[in-house]
Amino acid sequence: MIKRKRLRTISTVLVAFVFLPLSGFASDWPEFRGPGGLGIWNEPDAVPGLPDGEGLLPRVWSAPVGAGYSGPTVAGDGVYVLDRGATGSNEEVERIVCLDRATGDVKWIHTYACRYIDIQYAYGPRSSVTMRDGKAYALGAMGHLHCLDASTGKVHWAKDLGSGYAIDMPIWGLAASPVVAGDAVIVQAGAKEDGACILAFDIATGEEKWRAFADKASYTTPMLLNREDNTILVAWTGERIAGMDPATGAVHWEIATPPNRMPINVPGPAVSEDGRHLFLAVFYDGSRLIELSDDGLQAKQLWHRQGINERTTDALHCMISPPFFFGDHIYGFDSYGQMRCLEPTTGDRIWENQEAVPYGRWGTVFSVRNGDHIWMLNERGELIIATVSPEGYSEVDRAKLIEPTTELRQRPEGTVLWSHPAFAGTRVYARNDRELVCVELGE
């Protein structure tokens, strides 16, 4: 039986208006963290609670997939994911997989040889498939970039960035998802010696359009913001965050974010609901708040706070879990899974709570806003409905969505789930290293 805990809804029109027009339909989840990369799920028909009882939530369908951290994306009649596998001859491969949205049946799979070299936690690809205008764009962990037909899997063009550029490979491989802006697909490649940490390619031909920055790569996906009449590409490398012209790569502004030990910024910037502020948080390096001008062509850092170490932290030291603005405050998960609420003008901590995920290094929770509730998938595979405010954290409901299967010796259970879910229409899509599941959340 569904628990009747009625969800209140509030409008997030302001947030959607501040950013670029959303790609795909309102019921799609066409890129990493959803339309615009904002982690917002506008679904008034979501259930007010989750089913009672033990075991996993009932599935609409499940489909076998290989290993990987790639979060699924959803567009049209397809669900897309990257995974890792082997051919009959045990050749190492990555795969771009398209499943039928209604049934979970395989629509097509594109497989290519890919040997992982000098990548830690080498279970599989990290980034999500980006969908735009009937095409699928995918970047593998070693730098294989593909543009495919979304319906058939036909390859329009492909590039091996590891062969064409001197990639300074991050220790966890390339993890940032592609972003499409106009006639360009933009990726974070980390080709420091080539002055090509950020690269843009023509979506029709795959030819390079521009390159920027002699920086090490981070793991964060670039994002697009609309400020007045300007479209701003926000790219956060391992050494700086910059506002750029996505058509030319020209830099409007940049702020240095030098790493304390190594580039380890994984979640991208959180964006305030009025689009004026960017909040950055890094495991070793603490937090920064950046303010944008009305036109987005200028920016300044308002504050930077950093704790003594990864355990004695200040503000937020995020690892995998993306922080977010909600109302007038900042929320996120600190280095060992502690959820915190921050006062944004100073970064002062208002409260801390450990209910969403047990204490543990890199304790991870993926959060999505829907109305005035937060839907979360923690690293134990538990789907959580909660409310947050300056007064505290309040859990509405919790149920098991999917089993964690990725090995992590630092956990008593020995496994985690570190893949962002997709919320499309009234359904949630989530994957582990064995299956991708679809669960209905509509009333």
What's the pLDDT tens digit per position in 81-137?
999 986 555 679 999 999 999 999 999 999 999 999 999 999 999 999 999 999 999
Mean pLDDT of 59-81: 97
β-pair partners for 393: 388
What span, in angstroms and rounded, lies between the C-alpha atoms of 408 and 415? 5
Q: pLDDT by residue (tens digit) across 389-443?
A: 999 999 999 999 999 999 999 999 999 999 999 999 999 999 999 999 999 999 8
Q: Tokens representing 414?
A: 């020995």
Q: Identify the band that residue 52 occupies on the pLDDT scale cut at 50, 70 and 90.
A: confident
Q: Tokens representing 278?
A: 């960017």
Look-up: residue for tokens 């600190």? Answer: 334
> Tell me, what's the pLDDT at 88?
58
Q: Tokens representing 375?
A: 């839907």
Q: Considering only 3-7, 63-67, 79-83, 144-148, which range has the smallest mean pLDDT?
A: 3-7
312 vs 17, higher pLDDT: 312
What span, in angstroms and rounded, lies between the C-alpha atoms of 172 and 95? 18
Average confidence score pLDDT of the chain? 93
Residues of the chain with pLDDT > 90, as a percent, come to: 91
> Tell me, what's the pLDDT at 193?
96
Residues of the chain with pLDDT > 70, as a percent, come to: 93
Cβ neighbours for 434, distance < 8 A, ≥ 6 positions apart = 64, 65, 405
> Tell me, what's the pLDDT at 15?
40
Per-residue CA distances from 214 to 196, 202, 217, 413, 433 (Å): 6, 21, 9, 41, 35
User: Would you state the CATH architecture of domain 13-440?
Assistant: 7 Propeller (2.130)
What span, in angstroms and rounded, lies between the C-alpha atoms of 9 and 11? 7
> Tell me, what's the pLDDT at 24?
42
